[in-house]
Structure 1
Amino acid sequence: MKPLILISNDDGYHAKGINSLIDMVSDFGEILVCAPESARSGFSTAFSATTPLRLKLRRKREGMNMWSCNGTPVDCVKLALSELCPRRPDIVIGGINHGDNASVNSHYSGTMGVVREGCMKYIPSVAFSLCDHRDEADFEPLRKYVRTILSGVLRDGLPKGVCLNVNFPLASEFKGIKACRMAHGTWGSEVVRARHPRGYDYFWLVGKYTNDEPEAEDTDNWALTHGYVAITPTTIDVTDYEMIDKIKGILRKS
């Protein structure tokens, strides 16, 4: 039986990134796509608790069904697993995202929300992102790497509770692949205030990202800046195990 590959994103079912991804991996197995009906960037792992959800079949061909959902990326995965998948998927893929999800961007990313949801269901899950926000970004240079990573994960799986965050620099060729940690970075100047003609203030959330450790060579930001594909293994368990003993010590003294 061919592998079942579940694909979603946060840019919407119509985005070039997800459609390029479908083309890159369609020969690996049976493809089921469930993606937002419009852009849902920045939704992270949010799901819809108060909004009724709808599914719409957008495209169907042999070996590939594409559905859209009016909810979040996580809603798409949950609905696909519950209502659309004929069996348990062999892998969940998020992307290909228009724009990087390196460093702390990973926490905000709806693309990473897709794979975190898959990972929490103990399904091997991988997110792909390209450092190019343009609608007509060129995803073709990613093809070889996407296929290599997909092949490896389908063959070997991933540890329980671990998903992969894969980011590509904006380049026609890549120097190679680096396994990286996420860089320490911060967003600043995040709010732009404007005055509405009707007499009230409104705000745009924007911002400028700063890599707070630009000289560190083991980070995803460094790899992308220097032309490498960055793969960051990402865990669902966010426990700080070293702090457990410290807290126990504090409690014993109290």
Structure 2
Amino acid sequence: MAKKPLILVTNDDGVNAPGIRALIAVMNTIGDVVVVAPDSPQSGMGHAITLYSTLFADPVKIDNGPQKEYSCSGTPADCVKIAIREILDRTPDLCVSGINHGSNSAINVIYSGTMSAAIEAGIEGIPAIGFSLLDYSNNANFEPAKPFVKTIAQQVIKHGLPEGIVLNVNIPNVNYKSIKGIKISRQARSNWVEEFDKRQTPQGKNYYWLTGKFVNLDEGKDTDEWALENNYISVVPVQFDLTAHKFINELKTWNLND
């Protein structure tokens, strides 16, 4: 009898977040699941790793989760590292991260702890997917997303992914019947127009809250933002090689050695 696929589940919202509990429920129907996730919210951590403090990975039992589940004191990338090096007895067939509470489309992929966990798995040669739902609420409804999450995960297990590539999946916050399907997309060109809300403590010391507005600068109909605005699930293949290959030849014409 063939072994079930081994699936590593992680996230950046914390091991108790409703999104990861929904993701675990789906993955339990596909394979053998091991969870290693942060013990507290780690949103916006990007690909940070822990260097100057100790790391803990404590066994936990939450709802109807898998037999092997760990709450980790580190970042999402730490969770994947410690899972591979210390917890798992074999290389997982798939790593899934999420389901994130909120968007990781467009420029958000750079800051995302959810996607950094998936990318860390990809660096290790493990097929990986980051899932996000466009609802920041702790009471977000993940049920409409579950069938699509299962299909995408099964297809990645079946086909694999090229070396150096992971999938960034974003799901619109609509009911099941309103989801029009899945669009293979590119990352939209966008940025954040940021401001700092400056305040003072009672002692007169300045402190700041980061605020900002997301601006989509891309009018293309092949982007993740267009797909989501039109009630499609967006799937963007993401590579962690950040080299601007198209610029290499032009850069070689510069007189950098003079």
Normalised by the length of structure 2, the TM-score is 0.94
CA offsets 1:25-74 (integer angstroms, 9 cap, x no match): 20211100000000000011100010100111111879541101111001
Cα offset, 1:224, TM superposition: 0.6
Q: Which residue of 2 is the match for residue 160 of structure 1?
A: 163
For 1:95-114, what aligned pairs fall within 5 Å after superposition? 95-114=98-117
The letter for the 1-side match of 2:53 is T
Q: Which of residues 212, 218, 224 in structure 1 aligns to 2:222?
A: 218
CA root-mean-square deviation: 1.6
For 1:1-254, what aligned pairs fall within 5 Å after superposition? 1-59=3-61, 64-173=67-176, 174-213=179-218, 215-251=219-255
CA 1:201 to 1:159, structure 2 compared with 1: closer, same or farther past 3 Å?
A: same
Q: Name the CA distance, whole Å, in 1 between partners of 2:68 and 2:41.
A: 20
| Structure 1 SS opposite 2:254 | helix
The answer to whether the 8 A contact 2:228-2:234 is kept is yes
How many residues are paired up?
Answer: 253
Q: Name the CA distance, whole Å, in 2 between partners of 1:62 and 1:6.
A: 13
CA offsets 1:64-122 (integer angstroms, 9 cap, x no match): 41101111001111111111101100011110000010001000000001111000001
Segments of 4+ in structure 1 off by > 6 A? none
Cα offset, 1:249, TM superposition: 2.2
The answer to whether the 8 A contact 1:29-1:63 is kept is no
CA 1:163 to 1:72, structure 2 compared with 1: closer, same or farther past 3 Å?
A: same
**Unmatched segments (≥5 aa) in structure 1:** none
The letter for the 2-side match of 1:228 is Y
**Unmatched segments (≥5 aa) in structure 2:** none
Q: Name the CA distance, whole Å, in 1 between partners of 2:108 and 2:256.
A: 38
| Structure 2 SS opposite 1:250 | coil
Instruction: State the identity %.
Output: 40
